[in-house]
């Protein structure tokens, strides 16, 4: 698995990401999908760094693949292509994930995922999608997968005796935003990531 990514199993005593999300700091102002064109300072991914170039014409292409929306938030996934207009060979590919919170706040943030992180992310999602309470000897648990661009997927056991599992999708390093989905909807997220990878593969092939 890519060294820049990590699967983290957090064993808790009943602390849910729902409570954690309530204490999040203020996020950037909500915007359209193109919010991803203004990356935060201190970029840690290649796609962020390329997008933030100055002194050159930067061409930004994207394909909106779709997402999920409910009262607990919205998730939009885009394939990205960033080019230096003065040098056709200077190009980078990746994915952006826009995460908008549900409820009254409706805060929104964007995570950046480099092309070389996609396979490891899909494998991480495959693993935590199949996880159950047997991974911990304690009553509650969380299983989290994160990328270096501050995108994370967390499967967690609901407080109480129901034994049901839920998923938190988060984006952003400052004012992190979180949307919640059902465990059964993880397959939809995985499918969109696979589709994004295929779009990038085709784009690279046509550019040759």
Hey, CA dihedral for 191, 78, 43, 169, is it positive or negative? negative
Look at residue 143 and tell me if it is in a domain. Answer: yes
* Cβ neighbours of 53 (radius 10 Å): 12
Picking from 189, 154, 186, 149, the residue whose alpha carbon sits closest to that of residue 65 is: 189
* Domain region containing 37: 6-207
pLDDT of residue 109: 94
Query: Is 99 among the domain residues?
Result: yes
In a domain, 1, yes or no: no
* Stretch 116-126: mean pLDDT: 97
Q: Give the tens place of pLDDT for each residue, 85-102.
A: 988 788 999 999 999 998
CA–centroid distance for 150 within its chain: 7
* For range 2-12, the mean pLDDT: 37
pLDDT at 158: 80
Total structural domains in the chain?
1
Q: Is residue 160 part of a domain?
A: yes
């Amino acid at each position: 698995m890519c060294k820049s990514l990590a699967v983290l199993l957090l064993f808790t005593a009943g602390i849910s990401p729902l409570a954690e999300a309530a204490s999040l700091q203020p996020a950037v102002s909500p915007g359209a999908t193109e919010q991803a064109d203004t990356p935060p300072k201190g970029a840690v991914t290649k796609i962020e760094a390329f997008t933030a170039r100055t002194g050159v014409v930067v061409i930004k292409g994207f394909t909106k693949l779709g997402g999920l929306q409910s009262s607990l938030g919205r998730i939009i996934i885009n394939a990205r292509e960033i080019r230096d207009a003065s040098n056709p060979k200077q190009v980078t590919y990746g994915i952006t994930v826009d995460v908008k919170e549900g409820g009254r706040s409706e805060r929104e943030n964007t995570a950046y995922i480099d092309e070389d992180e996609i396979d490891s992310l899909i494998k991480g999602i495959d693993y935590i999608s199949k996880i159950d309470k047997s991974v911990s000897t304690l009553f509650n648990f969380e299983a989290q997968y994160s990328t270096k661009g501050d995108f994370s997927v967390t499967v967690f056991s609901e407080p109480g005796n129901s034994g049901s599992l839920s998923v938190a999708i988060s984006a952003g390093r400052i004012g992190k935003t979180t949307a919640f989905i059902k465990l059964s909807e993880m397959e939809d997220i995985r499918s969109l990531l696979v589709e994004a990878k295929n779009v990038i593969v085709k784009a690279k092939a046509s550019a040759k």
